[in-house]
Amino acid sequence: MTEVDSRLRHFAEEIRVLVEQDPIEGLRRWSEFFTMLRRTGQYDLCHEFLHVIKSMELPRYGIGIVRYSEGWLYDRSGQWKEAINAYEAAQKAFMASGLPLTVEVLAQIGSLYQDQGIWEAAEDAYNRAITFADQHEDGHGRAAILNNLGGLWALRNENRRARRYFEEAKEKFTACGDRYNEAAATVGLAGVLRDEGRLQDSSDRLGEAISIFQELGDGHGLATSVASLALTYHVANKLPEARHNYQAAMQIFTAINDRASIAKTLANLALVNQDMQETDTAVFLLEQAIAEYQEIGDHHGETIAYVNLARLHKIRNDRDGMAAAAATAAQLSSEHGYLDQQERLRDLGSTTCN
């Protein structure tokens, strides 16, 4: 047995004992561990850990734990339909065992549909989660779903509804003393204010979130807020400030080895350089982002980056580059069912460059 196998088995045994004593706390620790592995791009280790768990004697709701984890891995691998099937199986197992985890599982299902642009299905999952939370007087769970609904309606350009959900979520998180999620809801609210053209208000809210994450010592939340501030500067056409803040966020993400956020920030930084007419740098950054997405197995992020690369090559009048990037994006979109990116490719229009 390797040292890694030994450490995984030791941790898995800790989780198993904790789950038997306190299922909710045990699954929270499980989720934290998987989240850490996701941020650092250690998907192989995720698979190994899941294999270890499967080989252990689990409680009667153990199938729920396994299927939930498989859903998580399918999700991060871009296999969204398989992920939904796994999450639904986990939900059934948890309900059969009387574990109040329906809100968490429905939140994952809603997020998957949301990522695919299937708005009605996402809304249905979130509404079912709200109903379950209210039935079980789960105020914190309700706040979490309200935050998700804010994100959903923001994507649908329904800013007034999105703002209402984010404000209510923020209020509830503040009331229950959850500073982390209070800050997360504040970042969501800032995004809506940005979309409404209220750029100073957006910056002010992001300043609040940055202060909270600094107080908590949460590097990921801090970097995410700084990256959101960079986007606000980008929308305001303050391009040097946008680039500076993306670079600052990149330094933090690199320091904590958050591979998924590094890839996203590289892609966003490329867009800023594109608008600054520094297209060579933009191409370089997008190619770096694509390599990161491929390394961590994020096919959805990879597809988005390829569509962006095709658009960038069109601006550069690079016919061959545009055709190659668009062809790869089309293949990935078709293979994984990314309807949102298929639409973006159609919007790209003719393969004729300017």
Q: Which domain holds residue 52?
A: 1-106
* CATH number where 34 lies: 1.25.40
Give residue 188's pLDDT band: very low, low, confident or very high (50, 70, 90). Answer: very high
Checking if the pLDDT of 187 tops 80, the result is: yes
Residue 127 domain-assigned (yes or no): no
Residue 50 domain-assigned (yes or no): yes
Identify the sign of the CA torsion 232, 281, 320, 353: positive
- Give the pLDDT confidence of 41-99 residue by residue, as tens digits: 666 777 676 666 666 666 666 667 777 777 877 776 667 788 898 888 888 887 877 76
Instruction: Name the one residue in this structure whose structure tokens are 């079912």.
Output: 128
CB atoms within 10 A of CB 350: 6
Residue 54 domain-assigned (yes or no): yes
The per-residue pLDDT for 136 is 86
Q: Are 22 and 29 within 8 A, CB to CB?
A: no
Query: What is the spatial distance between Cα 74 and Cα 39, in angstroms, rounded to a whole number?
Result: 15
Give residue 350's pLDDT band: very low, low, confident or very high (50, 70, 90). Answer: very low
Domain's final residue, options 55, 90, 106: 106
CA triplet 168, 169, 173: central angle to 5 degrees?
120
Q: Are 305 and 283 within 8 A, CB to CB?
A: no
Checking if the pLDDT of 196 tops 80, the result is: yes
Residue 218 domain-assigned (yes or no): no
Q: Helix or strand or coil: residue 198?
A: coil
The per-residue pLDDT for 351 is 40
CB atoms within 10 A of CB 22: 12
Which pair of structure tokens corresponds to residue 66? 């396994």
pTM exceeding the 0.85 threshold for the entire prediction: no
Checking if the pLDDT of 100 tops 80, the result is: no
- Give the pLDDT confidence of 202-254 residue by residue, as tens digits: 999 999 999 999 999 999 999 999 999 999 999 999 999 999 999 999 999 99
Checking if the pLDDT of 353 tops 70, the result is: no
Which pair of structure tokens corresponds to residue 283? 């191409």
Query: What is the spatial distance between Cα 318 and Cα 233, in angstroms, rounded to a whole number?
Result: 29
The per-residue pLDDT for 103 is 86
Query: What is the spatial distance between Cα 152 and Cα 110, in angstroms, rounded to a whole number?
Result: 9
Number of domains in the chain: 2
Q: Are 110 and 129 within 8 A, CB to CB?
A: yes
Phi and psi at 237, nearest 5°, equal 65, 25
The per-residue pLDDT for 217 is 94
135 residue type, one letter: Q
CA triplet 343, 344, 347: central angle to 5 degrees?
90
Residue 319 domain-assigned (yes or no): yes
Domain's final residue, options 82, 106, 130: 106
Query: What is the spatial distance between Cα 314 and Cα 345, in angstroms, rounded to a whole number?
Result: 12
Query: What is the spatial distance between Cα 171 and Cα 146, in angstroms, rounded to a whole number?
Result: 11
CA triplet 121, 117, 79: central angle to 5 degrees?
85
Checking if the pLDDT of 31 tops 80, the result is: no
- Give the pLDDT confidence of 280-306 residue by residue, as tens digits: 999 999 999 999 999 888 888 999 999
Residue 94 domain-assigned (yes or no): yes
Query: What is the spatial distance between Cα 47 and Cα 42, in angstroms, rounded to a whole number?
Result: 9
Domain's final residue, options 85, 106, 127: 106
Q: Which residue has the higher pLDDT, 318 or 337?
A: 318
Phi and psi at 338, nearest 5°, equal -85, 90
- Mean confidence (pLDDT) of the chain: 87
Q: Which residue has the higher pLDDT, 85 or 10?
A: 85
Give residue 40's pLDDT band: very low, low, confident or very high (50, 70, 90). Answer: low
Residue 42 domain-assigned (yes or no): yes
* CATH number where 294 lies: 1.25.40.10
From residue 318, how far is each of 264, 268, 353 by CA, in Å?
Answer: 24, 21, 7
CA 148 to chain centre: 11
Query: What is the spatial distance between Cα 105 and Cα 321, in angstroms, rounded to a whole number?
Result: 41
Residue 256 domain-assigned (yes or no): no
- Give the pLDDT confidence of 301-330 residue by residue, as tens digits: 999 999 999 999 999 999 999 999 999 999
Query: What is the spatial distance between Cα 41 and Cα 235, in angstroms, rounded to a whole number?
Result: 30
